[in-house]
């Protein structure tokens, strides 16, 4: 059993702490550590927020990386929680299957996907919970609980999107999606106004996936690109194309260019304008699986461009009737403060859920904001706006929300009540759970 201290605690690099990190090799070692009183479980440390960080002790599941079973005929896979998504995909795609809902990076752990109830670009059923058949959890009492939609349902419901607070996810059984090709039929369309944007979204009914990138917005206007996609229907008896991932670290030249152009209020505008032009110039009707779902993995260490202070991601769901007002308010704040988001991604969202899961109906807005001298002012602005418009925050990525925003919410109170039954000692806790007094 290996241990260490002082390593990157989350992907955005915005958490300053020096916990001890322990890497158990098996269930016996894991059970011994769980006798501790204060820790959190972590996967591959790809979280943007602080939900997998504890200031004292982090238990890493990186050594729990076995595929326990893969039924190629039924499309069901069971794997330990430390298995990375890229390793699952490398196994299942050539057999004609894929994970039905995937986040924007393939370097996340399976346990992390479940604990955060990840969503992706799906137009319907856009939460991994829809496809989880069974979980095995190690509780704070060192009991192993098997749970599913019909067995120990309270554990099942509170663990999916429970941010690791109900226990340690040992393994997950997932129902996969059948595919005939690794290729995606893609359509990229430009929008130049809100009416244009809303009109283009009506095309989503004929696709499986949609995500929208914003170039510029404010003063009642918005410009950007809509991405639509669906799995290519290969109606032949030939096997699926050879599948592989490319892994490329950012070199010094690209690092320097990206760092300069993504850390300056004026240059980021030029960067976004050029990105849109290049996308239109090199637009491809057919995209690979990797290109379509994981463009941010092009450089596997792209987070380094934000420097030692890192960045924070804010993702929140707003009602459609407030969408324009909120976008204009954000634009006005950025203009006045000369602050910015390097990326702004919008997704139409319609999901049911409970507790602190990211669900609801409206538009999901996601922003990556460099941490600089304007951080506190930006954080206060966002918290104030969240409260004013009663938005739903994606807590799987959050590191800035004030507890006053949720302390009286029904979902919050019900989740705390359930945790009091499942994990009364709160051995599993994090900076996130302490910040929000969960």
| Residue of 51, 58, 46 lying closest to 18 (CA atoms) | 58
Mean pLDDT of the chain, nearest integer: 92
- pLDDT for the residue numbered 262: 79
Whole-angstrom distance, CA of residue 421 vs CA of residue 226: 45
Q: In the predicted model, what is the mean pLDDT of residues 160-189? A: 96
Tens-digit pLDDT profile for residues 201-254: 998 888 999 999 999 998 889 999 999 999 998 665 555 766 677 788 888 777
- Report percent pLDDT > 70 for the chain: 96
**Cα–Cα distance, 71 to 59 (Å, whole number):** 30
Query: For residue 419, what pLDDT is reported?
Result: 96
Query: Which of 345, 327, 97, 113 lies closest to 213, judged by CA?
Result: 345
CA dist 293 and 106 (Å) reads: 9
How large is the average pLDDT for residues 3-9? 58
Give residue 284's pLDDT band: very low, low, confident or very high (50, 70, 90): confident
Q: What is the average pLDDT across 155-169?
A: 97
CATH fit for domain 183-402, picks 1.10.287, 3.40.462, 3.40.50, 2.60.40: 3.40.462
Model pLDDT, residue 6: 47
Distance CA 44, CA 73 (A): 30
Q: What is the pLDDT of residues 91-128, one digit of tens each?
A: 999 899 999 999 999 999 999 999 999 999 999 999 99
Which residue is associated with the tokens 């109900």?
A: 166
**Please, which pLDDT band fits residue 274 given cuts at 50, 70 and 90?**
confident
- Where do the structural domains in the chain lie, given as residue ranges? 67-179, 183-402
Q: Residues 81, 66: contact at Cβ < 8 Å?
A: no
For the ranges 141-155, 202-216, 230-244, 306-320, which has the lowest average pLDDT?
230-244
Q: At 1, is the pLDDT very low, low, confident or very high (cuts 50, 70, 90)?
A: low
User: Tell me: domain 67-179, CATH 3.30.465.10, correct?
Assistant: yes
386-409 average pLDDT score = 94
For residue 398, what pLDDT band results from cuts at 50, 70 and 90?
very high
Q: Name which of 47-61, 281-295, 308-322 the model is least confident about.
A: 281-295
The bridge status of strand 57-60 relative to strand 20-23 is: parallel
pTM of the model: 0.93
Which has the minimum average pLDDT: 35-39, 50-54, 131-135, 206-210? 35-39
DSSP string, 68-88: EEEETTTTEEEEETT-BHHHH
């Amino acid at each position: 059993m290996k241990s260490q201290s002082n390593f990157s605690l989350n992907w955005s690099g915005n958490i300053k702490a020096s916990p001890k990190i322990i890497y158990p090799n098996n269930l016996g070692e894991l059970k011994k550590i769980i006798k501790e009183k204060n820790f959190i479980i972590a996967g591959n440390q790809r979280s943007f927020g602080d939900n997998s960080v504890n200031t004292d002790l982090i238990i890493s599941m990186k050594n729990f990386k076995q595929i326990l079973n893969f039924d190629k005929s039924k499309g069901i896979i069971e794997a330990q929680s430390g298995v990375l998504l890229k390793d699952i995909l490398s196994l299942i795609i050539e057999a004609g299957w894929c994970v039905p809902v995937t986040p924007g990076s393939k370097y996340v752990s399976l346990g992390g996907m479940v604990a955060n109830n990840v969503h992706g670009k799906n137009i319907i059923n856009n939460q991994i919970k829809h496809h989880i058949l069974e979980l095995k959890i190690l509780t704070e009492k060192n009991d192993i609980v098997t749970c599913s939609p019909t067995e120990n349902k309270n554990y099942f419901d509170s663990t999916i999107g429970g941010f690791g607070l109900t226990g340690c996810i040992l393994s997950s059984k997932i129902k996969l999606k059948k595919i005939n090709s690794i290729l995606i039929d893609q359509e990229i369309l430009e929008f130049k106004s809100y009416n244009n944007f809303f009109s283009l979204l009506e095309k989503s009914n004929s696709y499986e996936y949609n995500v929208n990138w914003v170039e510029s917005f404010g003063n009642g206007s918005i410009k950007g690109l809509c991405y639509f996609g669906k799995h290519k229907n290969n109606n032949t008896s030939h096997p699926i194309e050879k599948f592989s991932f490319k892994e490329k670290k950012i070199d010094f030249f690209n690092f320097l260019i990206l760092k300069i152009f993504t850390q300056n209020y004026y240059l980021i505008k030029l960067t976004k304008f050029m990105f849109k032009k290049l996308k239109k110039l090199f637009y491809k009707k057919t995209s690979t699986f990797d290109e379509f779902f994981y463009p941010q993995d092009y450089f596997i260490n792209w987070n380094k461009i934000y420097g030692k202070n890192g960045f924070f991601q804010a993702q929140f769901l707003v009602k459609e009737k407030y969408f324009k007002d909120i976008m204009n308010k954000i634009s006005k704040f950025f203009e006045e403060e000369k602050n910015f988001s390097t990326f702004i991604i919008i997704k139409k969202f319609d999901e049911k859920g409970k507790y602190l899961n990211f669900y609801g109906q409206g538009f999901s807005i996601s922003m990556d904001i460099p941490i600089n001298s304007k951080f506190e002012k930006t954080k206060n602005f966002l918290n104030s706006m969240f409260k004013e418009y009663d938005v739903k925050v994606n807590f799987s990525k959050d590191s800035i929300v004030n507890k006053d925003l949720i302390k009286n919410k029904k979902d919050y109170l019900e989740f705390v009540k359930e945790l009091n039954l499942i994990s009364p000692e709160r051995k599993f806790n994090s900076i996130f759970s302490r910040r929000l007094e969960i």
